[in-house]
Amino acid sequence: MSEGGQDEDRPGDASAPEGEVARGAGFAVAPGTAKRPGVLVAMPFDRALLARFKESFPTARWRRKLRRWFVPGTTAEQRADAWIAREISALDAYGDDKGRDAYAFEPLESRYLDAAPEALLVRTPYSRTVVDTLRTIPFAAWAPEIRAWRVPWRSYEALKAAWGAIEEAAAANEPEARRARREATRDPAAEAERRRRRHPVPRGDPPPLGAAVEAAGAGVVVFEALDDAPLAETEALAHYPAITAPGPLVWAWWRMPTFGELTETVPAAAADAPDRGWWPATRAGLEERRRRLRENTRARETRVKKDARAKRAVMQAGMDPGDP
């Protein structure tokens, strides 16, 4: 039938496209493709609803095989979500009141959840599991101004169903929990060896000096010097299990690269010979080193600001900063 025919307008039971997320009340959205940006929209069959949809999205086209409407455009998802939210609000004008009543009858009690008058607010330590789970909650949205996820009351039942996974992931990412996991896996001898900033490399196949390369266990570094004599500390080699290349090994001494050196480095497609302990820096390795350098820079800036504030406080109190 034609594009606006009844049979084609009915959603049917076609398998959901990859990445489709339910929005509630029979609505769902799925991303388009990089070649054709846009969003696929599934919705309940209703002639009046369909008429409003076509009025709001005149360029939308029916995809027969997927039995969904395709809305083109780079902002299609935001526009479709806003339209769906309005329609659901009209379909269930008392949805928020029902959610508040459900919460009053069986409240979720958690340090990660605040019940505000206009919506539920979820604040947790960062966790990819939490983010991915909240994205499945209808109309949940990140509010950067309050650094929290805002979940409308009408989505309370969906939030309650997923809350176990959210709370478990949040607790696992508390600073104390992460610190405990690090302590459980600490190897003081390996940490002491790493602080020496040396790395065994084959004497016959050493890394280039002064260039950013990747080293097993150390990430992207810059080697500055090589020893002449083969290394004799065989016990230290236990901390470098990835190195299996034959032949004598020598110590190579390294330092952290600068942002400029990382920018100038052309990434390799893959590690060419990981058994020798070093290889040309890959894209993933360079991105990881940039991320860590940014974290270290922010940490140093935070310490400097904290020290400056403490010094100003002492000065304002009329005390000598050198006094005990």
| Mean pLDDT along residues 217-237 | 87
| C-alpha to C-alpha distance for 312 and 321, rounded to whole angstroms | 9
| C-alpha to C-alpha distance for 285 and 57, rounded to whole angstroms | 44
Nearest to 11 by CA among 58, 53, 60, 44: 44
What pLDDT is recorded for position 160?
A: 94
What pLDDT is recorded for position 320?
A: 53
CB 239 within 8 A of CB 189: yes
75-119 pLDDT, tens per residue?
A: 999 999 989 988 877 766 677 888 899 999 999 999 999 999 888
| C-alpha to C-alpha distance for 30 and 22, rounded to whole angstroms | 9
Q: How much is the pTM?
A: 0.45
Take residue 229 and report the two structure tokens written for it: 């004599």
Does position 5 have pLDDT exceeding 50, yes or no? no
Residue 319's pLDDT band, with cuts at 50, 70 and 90, is: low
Does position 58 have pLDDT exceeding 60, yes or no? yes
Q: 151-176 burial string, b = 16+ CB within 10 Å, else e?
A: bbbbbbebbbeebeebbebbbebeee
287-309 pLDDT, tens per residue?
A: 999 999 998 898 889 889 888 88
What pLDDT is recorded for position 225?
A: 93
Tell me the CA distances in angstroms from 271 to 200, 276, 279, 281, one per residue in order: 17, 11, 6, 8
Percent of the chain with pLDDT over 90: 43
- In sequence order, what E strands does the chain have? 21-24, 27-31, 38-42, 61-63, 68-72, 113-115, 120-122, 141-143, 148-151, 198-202, 212-215, 219-226, 249-255, 278-280
What pLDDT is recorded for position 142?
A: 85
What pLDDT is recorded for position 209?
A: 94
| Mean pLDDT along residues 158-185 | 91
- Residue 316, sorted as left (phi over 0), alpha (psi -120 to 50) or beta, turns out to be alpha
- Mean pLDDT of the residues in the chain: 85
Nearest to 178 by CA among 112, 110, 126, 239: 126
What pLDDT is recorded for position 103?
A: 92
Among 13-22, 23-32, 77-86, the range scoring the smallest mean pLDDT is 13-22
Contact partners, residue 110, CB within 8 Å, separation at least 6: 163, 167
Does position 13 have pLDDT exceeding 50, yes or no? no
Residue 49's pLDDT band, with cuts at 50, 70 and 90, is: confident
| Mean pLDDT along residues 119-145 | 89
Q: Please, is 214 exposed, middle or buried when counting C-beta atoms within 10 Å of its C-beta (0-12, 13-18, 19+)?
A: buried
Among 6-15, 46-55, 82-91, 151-160, the range scoring the smallest mean pLDDT is 6-15
What pLDDT is recorded for position 83?
A: 92
